[in-house]
Amino acid sequence: MVRAAPQQMVFVTGGPPATPFAGPGPSTWTNPEYALHHARSWESPFVLGAMLPLEAAAHPLEGAGSRTVERYRSLMSELAASSLPVVAQVWGPMTTAATIVGLEPFVESLAGSSAAYSHLERGLEATLAVTEATLETHPALLWIGEPLAALASPQSLCALWLPAMRQLLARSRAAGADPVVHVSGPATHVLDAVSRAGASGMSITADTPLATAREKLSPHTVVFGNLDSMRLLDRDEEWLRNQGARMAEEMRGHPFIATPGSAVPERIPVSRLAAFVDGARGI
């Protein structure tokens, strides 16, 4: 799909839609009609499903978490009825584990404590429960948000994270969804683990250079990235257009989908986001 595209693909993961939304309900990602409008207004290759609150993702089988997961399943089913491929989002086992046991105890355990194994096992159990509910809606991509992976050493990634991720990725593929792993921050040391896990794609932020991702990942792994979304607030349209064009040129010949970064602010001017999109597409 990526290689056959007539021009550079751009997946607009946030911010305002290119055209005003006049549909029912609030303009949020938990509103399927808005999500579809947003994707179509930017001619994105996918429609982005909402992300579960971390607390619900950490406790998906009990109380409020269970009810939130059921609501999420319903919203995803509405998106699945559209003509666009759907990207479902789940939190990865490491990030979920840190939510369950607390960030500080979890990070401390990564230094070599045997508790890290039990922590990650709990995180994987919760992640798999949410993933099962998500995959029932038959998404095209399973977007696994694992921002905390960058905090782990290469040794911890290999011993702890890689076996868990292989289970998760295998379940995704068995259901027909291509798994994409998102890691925030400086993640050069995570690239090898993602490649060994066999992810179909990896999403990186501006802290991880595109050239490094291209060098270390398999030539078949789609790279998603990697504008710093804050530049949409403090840079002008010419700079953003040039950045989009530079990214597309730098990744020419490697499967690549340009994105305007993570957590794209809703308040950015549409014209700035459009400049980046046009630059990446070569318009």
| Amino acid type, 86 | V
Distance of CA 168 to the CA centre of its chain: 15
- In angstroms, the CA 57 to CA 60 distance is 5
pTM, full prediction? 0.93
CATH architecture of 34-194: Alpha-Beta Barrel (3.20)
Tokens 């992300």 belong to which residue?
A: 51
Cβ-count burial 257-274 (b if 16+ within 10 Å, e if not) = bbbbbbebeeebeeebbb
pLDDT averaged per 10 residues in sequence order, the chain, 283 residues: 67 94 92 95 94 93 91 90 91 96 92 89 96 94 94 91 96 96 93 93 94 94 94 96 96 94 86 97 88
Is the separation of the CB atoms in 256 and 223 below 8 Å? yes
pLDDT at position 2: 52
Nearest of 116, 70, 60 to residue 91 by alpha carbon: 60
pLDDT of residue 283: 77
Determine contact, residues 39/48, Cβ cutoff 8 Å.
yes
pLDDT at residue number 5: 55
pLDDT for 249: 96
Contact 278, 18 (CB under 8 A): no
Pairwise CA distance, residues 268 & 260, whole Å: 12
Q: Which residue has the tokens 């459009």?
A: 274
**In this structure, which amino acid lies at residue 58?**
A
Tell me the domain boundaries of the chain: 34-194
